[in-house]
Amino acid sequence: MEYRIEKDTMGDVKVPADKYWGAQTERSRNNFKIGPEASMPLEIVKGFAYLKKAAAHTNNQLGVLSDDKKELISKVCDEILEGKHDDQFPLVIWQTGSGTQSNMNVNEVVANRAQEIGGKKIGEERLIHPNDDVNKSQSSNDTFPTGMHIACYKMVLENTIPGIEQLRDTLAKKSKDFEKVVKIGRTHLMDATPLTLGQEFSGYVSQLNHGLKALKNTLEHLSEIALGGTAVGTGINTPEGYAELVAEKIAEFTGLPFKTAENKFEALAAHDAIVESHGALKQIAVSLNKIGNDIRMLASGPRSGIGEIIIPANEPGSSIMPGKVNPTQCEALTMVCAQVMGNDVAITVGGTQGQYELNVFKPVMAANFLQSARLIGDACVSFDENCAVGIEPNKARIQEHLDNSLMLVTALNTKIGYEKAAKIAKTAHENGTRLKDEAVNLGYLTAEEFDEWVRPEEMTGSLKN
């Protein structure tokens, strides 16, 4: 491999000749060889590209950056956003907690690629300086949280919310389709009074609606960006009006309602918006875990379990048991939920690491957030398309369970009292007989009265009359 020599304030560094990154990126590559699979998410890199372009336009408009430099920086940022330089960002999330090296990675790539666009060779007199031009009016301390917010906001808006809404809509349709399918309810995993399968599914829909509302409400806080705070929040080395204008530029380039943070000291030192938004993602994970487990258990069997619903058979379930089909989508969904809940712990701990004017767990918070947001969106789509849309009731099995349930006796409480009703259920359970037979044998009511009073469809509330 051929190398070239790059310089920074600490001296010379050998850098692969075919790469655009410079000395500080290479130092980080060498100093943080920790889990190379844990690369800095490209969503963060693209967040940087948006803000670097916005900064160049703002600096130019405020008279502190030339037209030529603005154009060169903008062109490279556009190339990064188009995915043309994805291999130029090799750093891992396990680096300095401010994300300084990733900020410099972007600065160096922009500067060196600008050399080529400007007709110069890398190593010749610079057309664009990574610090003085690309990083002008910025600090890693305000660029990384800005890139983080851009990336996280876009992921939630473009991936997470649509995925959840797709699954929610399917479950809502199922709830309507199943509104007259009366089944036995279960509490404590034991038989309870009847409800409809549609009512059961309506609970899932409500869970997801509440989660979506909570998540969307957090976007307001997530839309606030730190850029303009520079090193400690005071905005040192920025021209007058920079913070407000650069936020407007970011909003313009992304098409999203980003705005300058009201308090830059909070924006640099505390990442409560990330903690808050991921808390909503955790809430959704809790809901999805419940939904996935319920559907897995309702479909269990199919002959020796509950088997009240039929789920699609997507692939063989066993390497040794022929014909076995497993609830694989339920398992994938609930594993995603476990990962999101674990990520929330890391983000919560990360949120506590704001000392004085800087939080120093930015990269791990951003990486965990983006993973959670993507996983939830993708898992909801996968679960929807490969499981939820194909769910159908097993009406024969549902009726069998309904007929065998002892908890139908609850309908007699207001007719003969709790004690007598309990005696009927207990006797039927001990003898392995039907409720109706024991009610008549005990002399508490007639067969006709039992048929009139014990009507499962009227016990659901929604199907009366």
76 is in an annotated binding site: no
141 is in an annotated binding site: yes
340 is in an annotated binding site: no
* Residue of 39, 66, 188, 462 marked active site: 188
326 is in an annotated binding site: yes
Is residue 460 within 8 Å of 178, Cβ to Cβ?
A: no
83-115 core/surface letters (b: 16 or more CB in 10 A; e: else): eebeebbbbbbbbbbbbbbbbbbbbbbbbbbbb
103 is in an annotated binding site: no
100 is in an annotated binding site: yes
Tokens representing residue 363 in the block: 């990269």
* Residue of 28, 223, 318, 401 marked active site: 318
131 is in an annotated binding site: yes
Beta-bridge mates of residue 187: 190
52 is in an annotated binding site: no
257 is in an annotated binding site: no
- Sign for the CA dihedral angle at 26, 32, 38, 42 comes to negative
Active site residue 401: no
132 is in an annotated binding site: yes
28 is in an annotated binding site: no
431 is in an annotated binding site: no
DSSP state of 443: T
Angle between helices 362-386 and 140-155 (to 10 degrees): 10
User: What gap in Å lies between CA 40 and CA 147, rounded to an integer?
Assistant: 12
Provide the 10 A C-beta neighbour count for residue 396.
10
Is residue 171 within 8 Å of 388, Cβ to Cβ?
A: yes
What does 210-258 look like in DSSP terms, one character per residue?
Answer: HHHHHHHHHHHHHTEE-TT-TTTSS-TT--TTHHHHHHHHHHHHHTS--
263 is in an annotated binding site: no
Active site residue 318: yes
99 is in an annotated binding site: yes
25 is in an annotated binding site: no
Is residue 148 within 8 Å of 44, Cβ to Cβ?
A: yes
Annotated binding site for substrate: 98-100, 129-132, 139-141, 187, 319, 324-326
Annotated binding site: 98-100, 129-132, 139-141, 187, 319, 324-326
Which residues are catalytic, by number? 188, 318
